């Protein structure tokens, strides 16, 4: 099944409410073909449905992060569980990109073009990881997954600025810190395939975060806010630390539009 419309908001609405992995992938691919051929219709005709109506597939079972088993990457099961967790992150990332453009209306055309391109890339990431899982004898849905990513989307459904601060500029930005050490680890373990997949994703994610920075600054300007102060204030009110282990990948974060003031604020999280 796939959506029967050439309108971006209709495609987004379908993807957010079908609850079926294959239909979401087919519909995102449909949007890609339309977009690449200049046939995707960006006319806004209908209001978005409530975020609470969003449908996720029956599998994987969603549990709290504390219920997720911790496994070592030195075992086959550990590598499977790791990539299942990555597949889930990418799957939710498809929803996050669609929801961002679906929920927030009245922005410049470029906003919708940017985020549909992200939805398309997240679907590519998910498909790549899923194929990697299948090659290991596992499919998406075979393990439980955690539900915390989507919680942030629900909590920021009424505020674009918070959504941009928390999703691309906090959650996705953490990926820029934690992925390079994982790539190193897989190379060290002699698993070049896993390392190459993560590298490809990392290259794309820099641009996703960069788009988050661009639009965060755009909305700050519109509202007459200082973007650095606003960013640090918002995320320190909501989260307990900048990244697992607290080590920031400054090089990638600069590329992704973070300023030195923001990075210093993240590094000295607890100081003020």
- Find the part of the chain contacting Fe ion (CB under 5 A) among 20-28, 140-148, 167-175, 185-193: 167-175
By CB under 5 A, residue 217 contacts Fe ion:
no
Interface with Fe ion (CB under 5 A), residue total: 7
Compose the 242-261 pattern: x for residues touching Fe ion by CB under 5 A, - for all others: --------------------
CB nearer to Fe ion: give 34 or 256.
256
- Sign for the CA dihedral angle at 25, 27, 30, 36 comes to negative
Q: Least distance in Å: CB of 115 to Fe ion?
A: 10
Q: In this complex, which beta carbon is closest to Fe ion, that of residue 126 or of residue 218?
A: 126
Within 10 A of 34 (CB to CB), how many other CB atoms are there? 18
Query: Rounded to the nearest 5°, which phi and psi values hold at 63?
Result: -130, 170
Q: Which is nearer to Fe ion, 81 or 197 (CB)?
A: 197
Q: Enter the tokens of residue 126.
A: 């998910």
125 contributes a contact to Fe ion by CB under 5 A:
yes
From the number of C-beta atoms within 10 Å of its C-beta (0-12, 13-18, 19+), residue 66 rates as exposed
CB of 133 closer than 8 Å to CB of 91: no
Secondary structure (DSSP) of 87-149: HHHHHHHHHHHHHHHHH--S--HHHHHHHHHHHHHHHHHHHHHHHHHHHTT--TTSS-EE-HH
Nearer to Fe ion, 7 or 130 (CB): 130
Q: Minimum CB separation from Fe ion for residue 93, in Å?
A: 5
Determine if 208 is a binding residue for Fe ion (CB under 5 A).
yes
164 lies in the site for Fe ion, by CB under 5 A: no
Looking at beta carbons only, is 90 or 114 nearer to Fe ion? 90
Q: Candidates 24-32, 54-62, 117-125, 153-161 — which segment interacts with Fe ion by CB under 5 A? A: 117-125
Strand partners, 145: 62
Q: Is 130 in the site for Fe ion (CB under 5 A)?
A: no
Tokens standing for residue 48: 């978005």
* Closer by beta carbon to Fe ion, 57 or else 269: 57
Q: Is 41 helix (H, G, I), strand (E, B) or coil?
A: strand
Contact letters (x/-) for Fe ion, 87-106, by CB under 5 A?
---x--x-------------
Q: Which of residues 172-191 bind Fe ion (CB under 5 A)?
A: 172
Looking at the Cβ atoms of 90 and 262, the one nearer to Fe ion is 90
Cis peptide bond prior to 203, omega within 30° of 0: no
Residue 211 near residue 203, CB atoms below 8 Å = no
Residue number of the CB atom closest to Fe ion: 208
84: tokens are: 């299942």
Residues that bind Fe ion (CB under 5 A): 90, 93, 122, 125, 172, 205, 208
């Amino acid at each position: 099944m796939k959506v029967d419309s050439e309108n971006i908001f209709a495609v987004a609405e379908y993807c957010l409410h079908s609850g079926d992995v294959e239909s979401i992938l087919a519909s995102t691919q449909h949007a890609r073909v339309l977009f690449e051929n200049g046939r995707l219709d960006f006319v806004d005709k209908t209001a978005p449905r409530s975020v609470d109506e969003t449908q996720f597939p029956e599998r994987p079972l969603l549990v709290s992060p504390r219920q997720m088993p911790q496994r070592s990457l030195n075992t086959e099961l550990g590598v499977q569980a790791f990539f299942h967790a990555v597949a889930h992150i990418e799957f939710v990332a498809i929803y996050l990109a669609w929801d961002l453009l679906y929920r927030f209306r009245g922005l410049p055309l470029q906003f919708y073009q940017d985020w549909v391109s992200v939805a398309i890339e997240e679907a590519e990431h998910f498909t790549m990881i899923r194929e990697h899982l299948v090659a290991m004898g596992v499919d998406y849905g075979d393990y439980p997954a955690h539900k915390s990513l989507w919680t942030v989307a629900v909590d920021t459904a009424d505020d674009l600025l918070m959504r941009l601060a928390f999703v691309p500029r906090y959650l996705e930005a953490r990926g820029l810190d934690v992925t390079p050490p994982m790539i190193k680890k897989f190379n060290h373990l002699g698993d070049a395939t896993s390392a190459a997949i993560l590298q490809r994703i990392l290259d794309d994610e820099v641009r996703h975060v960069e788009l988050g920075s661009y639009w965060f600054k755009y909305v700050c300007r519109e509202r007459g806010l200082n973007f650095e102060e606003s960013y640090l204030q918002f995320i320190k009110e909501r989260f307990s630390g900048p990244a697992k282990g607290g080590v920031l990948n400054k090089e990638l974060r600069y590329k992704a539009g973070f300023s030195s003031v923001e990075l210093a604020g993240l590094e000295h999280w607890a100081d003020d």
